[in-house]
Amino acid sequence: MGYMSLVLMATASAHKHRANPIRKVVTMLQKMQEKVEAEGEKGQEMFEKFMCYCKTGVADLEKSIAEAEEMVTELPGKIEEGKAELTQTKADIQRAKEDRAAAKAAMSEATGIREKEAATFATSSGDFTTNLAAMKKAIAALEAGLGGSFLQTESASVLMGFVQNDAHITDIDRDDLTAFLAGGASHGEQMQGADMIVGILKQMQDTMTADLADVTKAEKTAIAEYETLMTAQTHRVDALTKEIEEKTERIGKLGEQLVGMKEDLSDAEESLDKDKKFLKDLQAGCETKEKEWAQICKTRQEELLALADTIKILNDDDALEMFKKTLPANEESFIQLQVSQQQLRSQAAAVLQAARRNKNANRQRLDMVLMAIQGKKVGFDKVLKLIDNMVALMGREQDDDDKKKEYCEDAFDKNEDKMKELVRADGKHEKAIAEAKEFIKDAAEEIKALTDGIAALDKSVAEATENRKEENSDYKTLMANNGAAKEIMLFAKNRLNKFYNPKLYKPPAKEELVQVSSHDAPPPPPETQDYKKQGEAGNGVIAMIDTLIKELDTEMTEAETEERLAQEDYEEFMADSKEKRAADSKAVADKAASKGDTEDQLAKLQESHKDILIEIMATDQVKTNLHGQCDFLLKYYDVRKEARASEVESLKKAKDVLNGADVSLVQMRTVRFLHRA
Q: Residue 358, SS3?
A: coil
The pLDDT tens digits of the residues spanning 434-469 come to 999 999 999 899 898 989 989 998 888 898 899 889
Which band of pLDDT confidence, cut at 50, 70 and 90, is reported for residue 669?
A: very low
Query: What local confidence, expressed as pLDDT, does residue 18 receive?
Result: 46
Residue 514 in this model has a pLDDT that exceeds 70: no
Q: Determine what percent of the chain is predicted with pLDDT higher than 90.
A: 12
Least confident of 178-192, 260-274, 516-530: 516-530
**Residue type present at position 512:** E
Residue 557 · residue 406 · CB < 8 Å:
no
The sign of the CA dihedral 89, 91, 97, 99 is negative
The pLDDT tens digits of the residues spanning 125-134 come to 888 888 888 7
Q: Determine what percent of the chain is predicted with pLDDT higher than 70.
A: 73
Which band of pLDDT confidence, cut at 50, 70 and 90, is reported for residue 369?
A: low
Bigger pLDDT: 495 vs 446 = 446
The sign of the CA dihedral 433, 435, 436, 440 is positive
Residue 538 in this model has a pLDDT that exceeds 80: no
Query: What local confidence, expressed as pLDDT, does residue 39 receive?
Result: 81
Which band of pLDDT confidence, cut at 50, 70 and 90, is reported for residue 232?
A: very high
| Nearest C-alpha neighbor of 471 from the set 564, 393, 344, 345 | 564
Query: What local confidence, expressed as pLDDT, does residue 530 receive?
Result: 41
Residue 134 · residue 155 · CB < 8 Å:
yes
Residue 656 in this model has a pLDDT that exceeds 90: no
Query: What local confidence, expressed as pLDDT, does residue 221 receive?
Result: 93
Query: What local confidence, expressed as pLDDT, does residue 337 receive?
Result: 39
The pLDDT tens digits of the residues spanning 162-186 come to 777 776 677 777 777 777 777 644 4
Separation of alpha carbons 565 and 422, rounded Å: 69
Least confident of 87-101, 256-270, 450-464, 521-535: 521-535
User: How many other CB atoms sit within 10 Å of the CB of residue 142?
Assistant: 21
Residue 354 in this model has a pLDDT that exceeds 70: no
Q: How distant, in Å, are the alpha carbons of 89, 96, 260, 269 from that of 81?
A: 12, 22, 14, 19
User: How many other CB atoms sit within 10 Å of the CB of residue 322?
Assistant: 10
Q: Which of 277-286, 353-362, 402-411, 632-641 ranks highest by mean pLDDT? A: 402-411
Average pLDDT over residues 579-592: 90
Average pLDDT over residues 658-674: 45
Bigger pLDDT: 80 vs 516 = 80
Query: What local confidence, expressed as pLDDT, does residue 361 receive?
Result: 60
| Pairs from 315-318 (Cβ < 8 Å, separation ≥ 24) | 315/22, 315/26
Which band of pLDDT confidence, cut at 50, 70 and 90, is reported for residue 9?
A: very low
Residues in the chain: 677
Query: What local confidence, expressed as pLDDT, does residue 234 receive?
Result: 92
| Nearest C-alpha neighbor of 258 from the set 250, 269, 248 | 250
Query: What local confidence, expressed as pLDDT, does residue 220 receive?
Result: 92
Query: What local confidence, expressed as pLDDT, does residue 519 receive?
Result: 37
Query: What local confidence, expressed as pLDDT, does residue 417 receive?
Result: 92
Bigger pLDDT: 7 vs 185 = 185
Separation of alpha carbons 127 and 450, rounded Å: 53
Q: Which residues contact 439 (CB under 8 A, 6 or more apart)?
A: 594, 595, 598
Note the maximum CA span of the chain: 205
Which band of pLDDT confidence, cut at 50, 70 and 90, is reported for residue 500?
A: low
Which band of pLDDT confidence, cut at 50, 70 and 90, is reported for residue 101?
A: very high
Query: What local confidence, expressed as pLDDT, does residue 183 receive?
Result: 64
Query: What local confidence, expressed as pLDDT, does residue 351 receive?
Result: 63
DSSP characters over 197-242: HHHHHHHHHHHHHHHHHHHHHHHHHHHHHHHHHHHHHHHHHHHHHH
DSSP label of 379: -
Average pLDDT over residues 318-344: 48
Separation of alpha carbons 281 and 279, rounded Å: 5
Helix 2-19 / helix 663-676 crossing angle, nearest 10 deg: 80
Using only C-alpha atoms, the chain has a radius of gyration, in whole angstroms, of 64
Query: What local confidence, expressed as pLDDT, does residue 217 receive?
Result: 92
Which band of pLDDT confidence, cut at 50, 70 and 90, is reported for residue 515?
A: very low
Average pLDDT over residues 292-317: 76
Residue 4 in this model has a pLDDT that exceeds 50: no
Which band of pLDDT confidence, cut at 50, 70 and 90, is reported for residue 223?
A: very high
**Cα first-last separation, the chain:** 14
Separation of alpha carbons 11 and 342, rounded Å: 10
Least confident of 267-276, 298-307, 398-407, 518-527: 518-527
- The model's pTM is 0.34
- Mean pLDDT (the chain, rounded): 76
Least confident of 19-28, 168-177, 323-332, 478-487: 323-332
Which band of pLDDT confidence, cut at 50, 70 and 90, is reported for residue 492?
A: confident
DSSP label of 521: P
